[in-house]
């Protein structure tokens, strides 16, 4: 809907009144017919306030966080192929949840959740997975350790990560960014290609660069941010399409075409990067020379993404081919909504269209979270647009919802 009041009336009915439980069909907007009852629509619109949206964000974020934590030790809803890795707190799947959870804690100051994060980090001895020391995925958990080091002043929280980062700085990878089709194994973990010694795929830009910036913040040594900044831009310049304002997942997709003949841009792949950019910007010291460059990239990516939101509020799993996967997909939508909401809240996106798109995305997310906090419609682990079922749920999907909810708590539009 284009009219602001009708837009808010949809939120009033589907979010504020808690119509978030999923049915067996893709979520549909559960509102009265606007043409049949315009007076009731306007009355509902008048009752919606920023406090209503913030209240809904509080409810959804809290329930999602608590539901996900309650499932640890009982992840049988996750396919066998990725269950063991999902149970590993150091692996990127859980780490992406903690990135969302720590952001939620920053917004709510929830001491119980903070204690939970501290217990997990202590249990893992603040260590990384060391079978693939260069791999960005295995640096994702460092963001939580470094968050604790800064927030709690826990010095030992960053020691193991510093050792790995120092090793990388002493022996920087000498490979290109082209993804080969050959895979190699490092025991139970694998490399899609030798280029993964660097950040040659879109997901990596969510997993690692922020941690390098955080390391500079907690140690005061600029060399970590310098490396992270340099490697981020090498990858971003390589993977970003100026023509479409979107990120290719990796070099194998440069020439790939979807069923409709359009380029293949993966929804969650773009969500990974778009969510990362704001969190990297926040770590930059005052006056950092790359800040304006990050903001410029953010605006280009935002424009490319906003043009592709579906009528139901979700972003397609295949951004340029919405018919490829017609069901909702919440992980990409969550990351993208977070990124856009951050831009509005920080005065970077100021037009009404951007605000409307955020509200529509948030409404879609709310519909995919059941009253007990389970996040539905999350594409499982992959690297391309794949089918999604309503019952599909994953930790990083909850992390994406928590990121979005943390920004909607601040919604003042």
Catalytic residue from among 203, 250, 321, 392? 203
Q: What token pair was written down for 67? A: 């539901």
175 secondary structure, DSSP code: -
Examine the residue annotation and report whether 203 is marked as an active-site residue of this protein: yes
DSSP 55-93: HHHHHHHHHHHHHHHHTTT--TTS-HHHHHHHT-TTSHH
Give ∠ CA 213-217-222 in degrees, rounded to 5: 70
Distance CA 275, CA 207 (A): 11
Distance CA 263, CA 244 (A): 9
DSSP H helical ranges for 171-262 = 204-207, 209-219, 223-239
Contact (Cβ atoms closer than 8 angstroms) between residue 409 and residue 54: yes
Between the CA atoms of 127, 336, 150 and 159, what dihedral angle is there, to the nearest 10 degrees? 20
Residues serving a catalytic function are 203
């Amino acid at each position: 809907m284009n009219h602001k009041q009708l837009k808010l009336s949809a939120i009033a009915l589907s979010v504020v009144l808690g119509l978030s439980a999923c049915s067996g069909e893709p979520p549909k907007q559960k509102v009265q017919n606007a043409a049949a009852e315009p007076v009731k629509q306007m009355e509902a619109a008048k009752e919606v306030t920023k406090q209503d949206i913030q209240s809904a964000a509080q409810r959804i974020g809290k329930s999602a966080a608590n539901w996900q934590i309650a499932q640890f030790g009982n992840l049988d809803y996750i396919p066998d192929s990725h269950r063991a890795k999902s149970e590993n707190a150091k692996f990127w799947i859980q780490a992406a949840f903690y990135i969302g959870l720590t952001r939620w804690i920053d917004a709510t100051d929830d001491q119980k959740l903070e204690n939970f994060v501290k217990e997990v980090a202590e249990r893992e001895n603040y260590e990384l997975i060391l079978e693939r020391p260069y791999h960005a995925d295995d640096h994702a958990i460092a963001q939580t350790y470094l968050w604790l080091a800064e927030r709690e002043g826990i010095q030992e929280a960053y020691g193991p990560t510093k050792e790995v980062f120092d090793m990388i700085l002493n022996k920087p990878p000498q490979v290109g960014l082209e993804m080969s089709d050959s895979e190699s194994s490092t025991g139970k973990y694998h490399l899609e290609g030798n280029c993964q010694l660097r950040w040659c795929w879109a997901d990596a830009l969510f997993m690692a660069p922020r941690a390098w910036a955080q390391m500079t913040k907690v140690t005061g040594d600029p060399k970590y941010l310098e490396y992270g900044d340099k490697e981020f831009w090498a990858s971003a310049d390589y993977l970003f399409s100026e023509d479409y304002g979107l990120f290719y997942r990796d070099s194998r997709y440069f020439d790939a075409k979807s069923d409709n003949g359009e380029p293949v841009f993966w929804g969650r792949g773009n969500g990974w990067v778009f969510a990362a950019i704001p969190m990297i910007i926040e770590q930059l010291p005052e006056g950092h020379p790359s800040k304006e460059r990050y903001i410029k990239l953010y605006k280009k990516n935002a424009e490319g993404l906003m043009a592709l939101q579906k009528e139901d509020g979700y972003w397609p799993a295949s951004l340029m081919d919405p018919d490829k996967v017609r069901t909702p997909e919440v992980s990409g939508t969550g990351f993208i909504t977070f990124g856009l909401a951050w831009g509005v809240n920080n005065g970077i996106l100021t037009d009404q269209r951007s605000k409307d798109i955020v509200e529509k995305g948030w409404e879609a997310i709310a519909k995919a979270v059941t009253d007990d906090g389970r996040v539905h419609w999350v594409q499982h682990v992959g690297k391309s647009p794949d089918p999604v079922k309503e019952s599909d749920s994953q930790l990083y999907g909850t992390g994406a919802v928590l990121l979005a909810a943390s920004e909607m708590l601040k919604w003042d539009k």
